[in-house]
Every structure is written in C-alpha cells, then in structure tokens.
Amino acid sequence: MFIKSDGEIVFLEIAARPAGGEIVNTLDKTFGFNLYEQTLRNELGLTVCFNTMKNPSYHVWVYLLLPEGKIKQTNTPQFKSHFEIAWNVAIGDTITYSSKSVLRKKAALVTLSNSDFDVLYNDFINLKTFQAVEVE
C-alpha cells in the first residue's frame, strides 16, 4: 500500500482485501501495523492509525514444500535468526498430489526474525537448499 502526500491510502491488492499467506502477520510483527484492522477501519470511514515501531525487527516467512512419498524424517534447519516452524505433516504420512496447488504441498511454515537484516537475509537464502523432509 501507499500513502499519498494528501493522505489518501492506495491499496495494491487486486482482490480489494489484505494480501494472503503470512503477509499481514509479517507487517504486524515488523511495523506494528495490522492491515486487517486498518482495512476495516478504512472501509468503515474511521481513522486509520499509523503507529510505527521505533526499533522494528525484520521478519520473513517461507513455506517448505513436500516431495511425494512416505515421510521417514523431518529436519530442523539451523539459523542465526530466531525462528518457529509449524509442521503440517508427520513422520509416516504419505504424500501424493491430486492438485498442482503449492498450498497443498506445504510441509511447514517457517517464520524468522532478526534485528539485523543481513543475518535474516542470509538465513532466508540458506532455505533454498534446505531439505525439510526425507521420503521413502
């Protein structure tokens, strides 16, 4: 979204709603700005509040994708940043694809945060080669 010099708020979402995935949570954690709340306030004609944090930390989220097969092991990545993993699968689950949807292939949601952008970025880049699960 953009705020024009005259105070007009311009949202850049084609569905006229806050973006999906973990974007709203990430904005809230990073800037203290809840886009769901502010969008509703805007629609109701109420004042939209822009209270930003003085020392925000940086946040990123990633879906770890699944290969097809029976899960024999889940792996935990090593990061310098604080992180949380919400697993959507367990050892013994058999994964087959009836759809090409990326969301059906999620092994886990990983959220990371760090006050040092470069450290967070390097952790994010390291996820490109991370194998979340091993299958038979």
Distance between CA atoms of residues 55 and 49, nearest Å = 18
Looking at the structure, do residues 64 and 111 belong to the same domain, yes or no?
yes
Domain annotation covers residue 49: no
Looking at the structure, do residues 72 and 109 belong to the same domain, yes or no?
yes
User: Domain span at residue 9?
Assistant: 2-43
Domain annotation covers residue 76: yes
Domain annotation covers residue 52: no
Instruction: State how many domains the chain has.
Output: 2
Domain annotation covers residue 103: yes
The pLDDT of residue 72 is 94
DSSP code per residue over 9-63: EE---TTSS--STTHHHHHHHHHS--HHHHHHHHHTTPPPP----SSPPEEEEEE
The answer to whether 3 and 92 are in contact (CB under 8 A) is no
Q: Per-residue pLDDT tens, the chain, 136 aa: give them.
A: 778 888 887 877 666 667 777 888 888 888 888 888 888 888 899 988 777 666 678 999 998 888 888 999 999 989 999 999 999 889 998 888 766 666 667 889 999 999 999 999 999 999 888 888 899 8
Domain annotation covers residue 35: yes
Residues with Cβ within 8 Å of residue 58, at least 6 apart in sequence = 30, 113, 114, 115, 116, 117, 120
Distance between CA atoms of residues 117 and 132, nearest Å = 24
